[in-house]
């Protein structure tokens, strides 16, 4: 569903991503991990078509992100770490606008179900400018889900959410994956990744240190015990790279 082949991205003399190759199949949830500056956000923005790759191939649902951008974007949704909303639109008008952009007919029932799921129904007619940080995050997630995308990209999706919102978000990711979506979640909250992800991609300075299943990651680092937490795996994977460079 998501294919990344030899992705490179440079900004002048800065290498953000260097030769990244991975894929995310339907039903998989990929956790994108790495320290600050590892290339996580750059990778997600390139897949979403927000920024062009310096070189490499990006494919979403069979559509080349560079050569067939509109078709690719119709099949994906990207929620950045600080989603930009339209302050002059209400919560419901955001969903109306999203349905119009993605040509979703008879969207009302699905939109209302999303508002109920994320506890936004009482704010249905509130302007985005009146929402708290967590509510804005929930609204962005609702808009992302509305057109039933086959690929979902989340960059720090729990920002601003309360405990109940966090649980709802986790459940929604599992639901979308079980329905056949390919999901990528980038987060510094390793507990989130451990709870919902089936696969991991660990990055350091734009390069892959590990790509594979969660259990494979634990097996890949021989000094980590069988029952090790993802935190132990992450530090084992990245600390050696820090010492080298």
List, for residues 78-99, the tens digit of each pLDDT value. Answer: 999 999 999 999 999 999 999 9
How high is the pLDDT of residue 245?
46
Mean pLDDT value across the chain: 92
| pLDDT exceeds cutoff 80 at 31 | yes
CB 39 within 8 A of CB 62: no
| Separation between Cα atoms, residue 208 and residue 181, nearest integer Å | 23
Q: What is the pTM of this model?
A: 0.92
pLDDT: which is higher, 236 or 156: 156
Cα dihedral value 64, 65, 71, 72, nearest 10: 100
Across 192-205, average pLDDT: 93
- pLDDT in the model for residue 237: 81
Query: What is the rounded distance in angstroms from the CA atom of residue 153 to the CA atom of residue 151?
Result: 7
Backbone angles phi, psi at 106, to 5 degrees: 50, 50
Percent of the chain at pLDDT above 70?
A: 95
Q: What is the mean pLDDT of residues 149-164?
A: 95
User: What architecture is the 2-244 domain classified under in CATH?
Assistant: 3-Layer(aba) Sandwich (3.40)
CA 115 to centroid of chain Cα atoms: 20
Say what the pLDDT of residue 120 is.
98
Which element (helix H / strand E) includes 50?
A: none
């Amino acid at each position: 569903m998501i294919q990344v082949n030899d992705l490179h991205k440079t900004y002048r003399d800065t290498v953000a991503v260097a030769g990244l190759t991975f894929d995310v199949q339907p039903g998989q949830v990929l956790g994108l991990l790495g320290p600050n500056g590892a290339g996580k956000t750059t990778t997600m923005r390139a897949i979403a078509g927000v920024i062009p790759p310096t070189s490499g191939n990006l494919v979403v649902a069979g559509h080349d992100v560079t050569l067939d951008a509109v078709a690719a974007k119709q099949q994906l949704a990207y929620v950045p770490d600080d989603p930009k909303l339209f302050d002059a639109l209400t919560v419901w008008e955001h969903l109306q606008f999203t349905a119009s952009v993605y040509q979703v007919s008879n969207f009302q029932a699905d939109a209302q179900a999303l508002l109920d799921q994320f506890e936004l129904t009482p704010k249905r007619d509130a302007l985005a400018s009146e929402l708290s940080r967590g509510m804005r995050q929930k609204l962005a997630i609702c808009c992302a889900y509305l057109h039933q995308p086959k690929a979902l990209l989340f960059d720090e999706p729990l920002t601003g959410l309360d405990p109940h919102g966090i649980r709802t978000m986790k459940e929604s990711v599992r639901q979308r994956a079980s329905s056949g979506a390919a999901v990528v979640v980038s987060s510094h909250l390793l507990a989130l990744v451990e709870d919902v992800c089936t696969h991991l991609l660990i990055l350091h300075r734009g390069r892959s240190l590990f790509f594979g299943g969660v259990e494979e990651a634990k097996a890949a680092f021989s000094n980590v015990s069988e029952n090790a937490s993802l935190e132990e795996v992450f530090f084992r994977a990245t600390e050696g790279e820090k010492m080298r460079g």
